[in-house]
Amino acid sequence: MEMNEASAKLALKEEEVRSILHAADNIVGRAGRTMLVKILKGSRDKKLLALGLDDSAEYGYYRPLTMANITERVDWMIKHDYLAISRDGDMPVLVFTERGWEIQREQMADLLLAQWRAWVEAGVPVTDMTYLKDRNQGMILLFLQKVANSGDARYIPLLQQWELVDYKKVRQAIREVIAHLNNGAGERFILEGAPVVELADRPLIEERKSERLKCSAASMPC
């Protein structure tokens, strides 16, 4: 794959990096950079629509830009080690790098926590927690760590509903978080297996060599 030389002259903002990673999350390991460009453009491409990718929060994020301009930005993300190109048979597909996935994993955990916060503050009863099943395990454990860190016992009913539908390892982690919140969340709590987040200790936009990972918020490994 030949990178667009214009991408070398770009300097993306943190918001752009986060939005491109979020847009990529639903297609990593399944589609290439062209599909990501179409999502960011807000394309009415038939395949994109058939896959429901127009439901992405970042669909049309770069709508005013040309496809070529958006491609330059996707290439910038590859050049700066947030995304990479792998192969699924003969088809080139996008994957997260270690750095890109670290950022996206935390974004997803923060989004889930924000959703729960909105539910408990609005008093919305939520009983169907199956939407959390089969998510990336590292991201789920990070989310549970954030729930524990919140110290908010109002999340306990949601945790109890979730415990009914998930796998053994996740159920055990949920029970530990519930116990921590029931105890008043006074002592420091570290959930075994939860990723250690260090993003606040270094700039988001930096060049970094890292291992390429084929994972997403919807996949269990990583």
pLDDT tens-digit profile of 105-131?
999 999 999 999 999 999 988 889 999
Range of the domain at 21: 5-80
Residue-wise pLDDT for 190-222, tens only, equals 999 999 865 545 556 655 444 455 555 554 445
| Domain match, 218 and 130 both | yes
| Domain match, 124 and 68 both | no
Structural domains in the chain (count): 2
Residue with tokens 């080690």: 81
| Domain match, 110 and 31 both | no
pLDDT of residue 221: 46
| Domain match, 31 and 116 both | no
| Domain match, 49 and 131 both | no
Exposure b/e, 29-40, CB count within 10 A at least 16 = b? bebbbebbbbbb
| Domain match, 214 and 105 both | yes
pLDDT above 70 (res 52): yes
Q: Give which of 86, 121, 100 is closest to 21, Cα–Cα.
A: 100
pLDDT of residue 185: 63
| Domain match, 52 and 116 both | no
Structure tokens at 116: 């729960």
| Domain match, 108 and 67 both | no
User: Does residue 132 contact residue 108 with C-beta atoms inside 8 Å?
Assistant: no
Q: Could you give the CA distance from residue 133 to residue 135 in angstroms, rounded to a whole number?
A: 6
Residue-wise pLDDT for 132-168, tens only, equals 999 999 999 999 999 999 999 999 999 999 999 999 9
pLDDT of residue 8: 57
